[in-house]
Amino acid sequence: MKKNEPSGTVEKLEKLATEAKDANYILRLYIAGNTSRSAQAVINIREICETHLKGHYQLEVIDIYQQPALAKGEQIIAVPTLVKQLPLPLKKIIGDLSKIERVIFGLDLQKIDKGQSPEKEASK
């Protein structure tokens, strides 16, 4: 075992959580025009990113009416759709992103906190 390598499971999980938090996230949010659902999705993802990824994300909002080729290339079949391109694996989340705990889980941002689940954390 290397000198700086964590020895226990807890230490390994903490190291993974730190690495995930320091990772740069590349996100694309596909919307359809200037609708209230699109606007709400933009507000929700920006709030999530600023709360959980501040300084570690790139968010691109793509209107499928203005850039249909991008939506076709990503095989977007419903909007709003959030695509997490990096870090891998690629993930898609469909909807207005109002269920914050599901978005956090879908982006692999859930906190590794003793006994805390994302649902409990969101209800505080």
Give the model's pLDDT for residue 108.
Answer: 87
Token pair listed for 72: 């076709």
Give the model's pLDDT for residue 8.
Answer: 67
Give the model's pLDDT for residue 123.
Answer: 42
Mean pLDDT by 10 residues, the chain (124 residues): 56 60 83 96 96 93 96 93 94 94 87 40 42
- CA distances (Å), 89 to each of 43, 92, 103, 107, 114, in order? 24, 10, 15, 10, 26
CA–CA gap between residue 41 and residue 110 (Å, rounded): 20
Does the domain at residues 24-122 carry the CATH identifier 3.40.50.620? Answer: no
Give phi and psi for 39, each to the nearest 5.
-60, -40
Give the model's pLDDT for residue 109.
Answer: 80
Instruction: Using a cut of 0.75, tell me whether the model's pTM lies above it.
Output: no
Q: In the chain, helix, strand, coil percent, each to 5? A: 40, 20, 40
Token pair listed for 54: 């501040």
